[in-house]
C-alpha cells in the first residue's frame, strides 16, 4: 500500500524528520511518500497560516489521487482542511490530532495536550470538541516554543516540553500526554522515558490507523458530505483549483 504523508508547511527538514518516524513504524510492504507543501507558511501557528496552507495541501491530495495513493496523513496538529481533503480522496485521510487524541483515549482515561504557542491552545480545544474527545482532555498546555525552534541544535525546546509534560501529569491529573505538534514526533520516546507515562504523537499513530483502514479495504464515503466537490469554475487566482467532474 502507498500512504502519502503531507506536511502542510514548507519546511523540508520537518518533513524529513516526520518521514523517518513514519518509516520506523510502517509495515513491510507499506510505502511512505512524504511531501512538503509547495507554497505557503514555513510553520502553521494560527488560523491565518492554516487557511493559506490548505491550498497546497489539497493540491497534494489531488496529485495523490492521480498517482494512485491508497491513503493520506495530514501531518499538522491543526488537521487543516481535513474534511475538504476527504472530499477529494477515495482512500482514508487521517489527521494527526484526530489520530493522537483517539489513541490516547483508548490507552488512558485522560490526556493533556502539550503544544507550542499559547495562541494555538484554543485551536486544540476546538479539535477535541469536534472529535468528541473533550471529555478525555484534561488540559491544553502551551510551552511557548515556536515550531521552527523545536529541532534547532542547542535549543532548550526538549527540556521545556518535558517539564511541561511533568506539570500536566501533576497539575492536571492527566494519565497520558498528547504532543500537540508534528515537529515533536521525533522525540516522543525521549519524553515518554523522562516522564514515565504514555506519550502519543500523531504522525506515527495516523500512519498505523491509515494502514489498518486500507487493509480493511475501507474507502471514504461519497454519498453525502464527503462527495466530490461540485463541478464549477472558480474565478481569479483560484481558477486552477476549480473542481472537475467526478471520476
Q: Give the per-residue SS3 of 59-84.
A: HHHHHHHHHCCCEEEECCCCCCCHHH
CA nearest to 183, candidates 41, 1, 16: 16
What is the per-residue pLDDT for 245?
55
pLDDT of 128 over the 80 cut: yes
Q: What is the mean pLDDT of residues 73-83?
A: 98
Q: What is the mean pLDDT of residues 12-39?
A: 97
Domain(s) of CATH 3.40.50.12500: residues in the chain: 2-95+204-241, 97-202
Cell output for 126: 476546538
**Does the domain formed by 2-95+204-241 have CATH 3.40.50.12500?**
yes
| pLDDT tens digits, 193-221 | 999 999 999 999 999 999 999 999 999 99
CA pseudo-torsion sign 43, 48, 51, 56? negative
Cell output for 128: 477535541
Cell output for 89: 480522496
pLDDT of 247 over the 60 cut: no
Cell output for 50: 492554516
Q: What is the mean pLDDT of residues 3-10?
A: 98
C-beta separation of 183 from 150 below 8 A: yes
Please state which CATH class domain 97-202 belongs to.
alpha beta
Q: How many residues does the chain have?
A: 247
Q: What is the mean pLDDT of residues 45-55?
A: 97
What is the per-residue pLDDT for 152?
82
Helical spans, DSSP H, in 72-176: 82-88, 96-107, 121-130, 157-171
Amino acid at each position: 500500500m502507498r500512504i502519502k504523508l503531507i506536511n502542510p508547511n514548507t519546511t523540508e527538514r520537518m518533513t524529513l524528520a516526520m518521514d523517518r518516524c513514519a518509516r520506523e513504524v510502517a509495515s513491510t510492504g507499506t510505502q511512505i511518500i512524504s511531501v512538503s507543501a509547495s507554497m505557503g507558511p514555513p510553520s502553521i501557528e494560527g488560523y491565518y497560516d492554516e487557511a493559506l496552507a490548505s491550498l497546497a495541501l489539497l493540491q497534494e491530495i489531488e496529485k495523490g489521487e492521480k498517482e494512485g495513493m491508497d491513503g493520506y496523513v495530514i501531518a499538522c496538529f491543526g488537521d487543516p482542511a481535513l474534511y475538504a481533503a476527504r472530499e477529494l480522496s477515495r482512500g482514508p485521510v487521517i489527521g494527526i490530532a484526530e489520530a493522537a487524541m483517539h489513541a490516547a483515549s483508548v490507552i488512558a482515561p485522560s490526556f493533556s495536550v502539550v503544544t507550542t504557542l499559547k495562541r494555538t491552545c484554543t485551536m486544540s480545544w476546538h479539535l477535541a470538541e469536534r472529535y468528541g474527545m473533550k471529555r478525555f482532555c484534561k488540559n491544553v498546555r502551551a510551552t511557548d516554543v515556536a515550531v521552527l525552534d523545536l529541532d534547532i541544535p542547542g535549543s532548550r525546546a526538549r527540556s521545556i516540553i518535558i517539564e511541561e509534560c511533568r506539570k500536566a501529569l501533576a497539575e492536571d491529573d492527566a494519565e497520558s500526554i498528547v504532543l500537540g505538534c508534528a515537529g515533536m514526533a521525533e522525540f516522543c520516546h525521549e519524553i515518554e522515558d523522562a516522564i514515565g507515562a504514555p506519550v502519543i504523537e500523531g504522525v506515527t499513530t495516523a500512519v498505523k490507523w491509515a494502514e489498518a483502514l486500507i487493509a480493511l479495504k475501507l474507502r471514504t464515503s461519497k454519498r453525502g458530505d464527503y462527495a466530490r466537490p461540485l463541478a464549477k469554475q472558480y474565478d481569479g487566482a483560484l481558477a486552477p483549483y476549480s473542481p472537475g467532474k467526478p471520476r
